[in-house]
Structure 1
Amino acid sequence: MSEDGQRNTDDGAVTFVNRFTVRALPDEFERTFADTAEFLGKQPGFLRYTLLKHVDDQHSYVNIAYWRDLESLRNALSQPDFAPHAEALRSLSTSDPNLYTLAQSFTADP
């Protein structure tokens, strides 16, 4: 960590950020997403995820998922058992998926 509290890293970890626009009832999307997250949570290399719901737009969500490395994520998404999960989410929403690596991180002092 540098003196200003910022951390640069190149450990291979990736962050998958997916923005969803939901066409269905939000509760239905959240249940379907939870099923998908349960499946992905059992895959090697999965670390954690956070599903965020927009404050003013109940049909707008962002998923942030952390993976140990890109290969783990790609392997998980290529599993035949993932296809029904992807299809279920596509039937309820549109999405804009992107991959990121950590450039900097900062945590406030307690």
Structure 2
Amino acid sequence: MTADGLESAITFVNKFTVHSSPEEFERVFRETGEFFGKQPGFLRYTLLKHVDEQNSYVNIAHWSDLDSFHNALSKPDFKPHASALRALSTSESNLYTAKQTLAADSR
């Protein structure tokens, strides 16, 4: 139950409250994800939709390191993506490092 080898990895967690149609938000988010997918240090993201609250989403994005994350955000090409998401939602975000992880045993 350790995070061996993950100490430098960064997890970005972003909670969104959507003020547009969920479909429009998901489309714009997919485009933003495609931008991040081309950035050095980006590993993966998962966009989660709340089971009961249809306008509530959480993004969990994994990056190899903090510098890669900040470099991606500082690129001029990111600004239109950020603006598009802000037009459709409000968000609260934080950065984390993994301290423990556990996966079910393979059978």
| TM-score, shorter chain, exceeding 0.5 | yes
How far did residue 108 of structure 1 move?
A: 1.6
Equivalent position of 2:3 in the other structure: 8
- Distance in 2, Cα, partners of 1:45 & 1:71: 9
State how far apart, in whole Å, the 2-side matches of 1:62 and 1:21 are.
9
* 1:82 match: 78
Structure 1 residues without counterparts, runs of 5 or longer = 1-5
Alignment of 1:12-23 (within 5 A): 12-23=8-19
* 1:25-36 aligned within 5 A: 25-36=21-32
TM-score scaled by length of structure 2: 0.95
1:55 counterpart = 2:51: yes
- Name the CA distance, whole Å, in 1 between partners of 2:40 and 2:52: 35
TM-score (norm 1): 0.92
Equivalent residue of 1:40, what SS? helix
Kindly, what percent of the aligned residue pairs are identical? 65
User: In structure 2, what is the equivalent of residue 3 of structure 1?
Assistant: none
Q: How many angstroms does 1:37 deviate by?
A: 0.4
What residue ranges of structure 2 are gaps of 5+ in the alignment? none
Deviation at 1:78, TM superposition (A): 0.3
Aligned-partner Cα distance in 1 for 2:32–2:48: 15
For 2:56 and 2:45, the matched residues in 1 are separated by 17
Aligned CA-pair RMSD: 0.9
Given that 2:7 and 2:97 are in contact with CA atoms closer than 8 Å, whether structure 1 keeps it comes out as no
- Tell whether the 8 Å contact from 2:18 to 2:56 is kept in structure 1 after alignment: yes
Q: Based on CA coordinates, which of the two structures has the bigger radius of gyration?
A: 1
Runs of 4+ deviating beyond 6 Å = none
Alignment length, in residue pairs?
Answer: 105
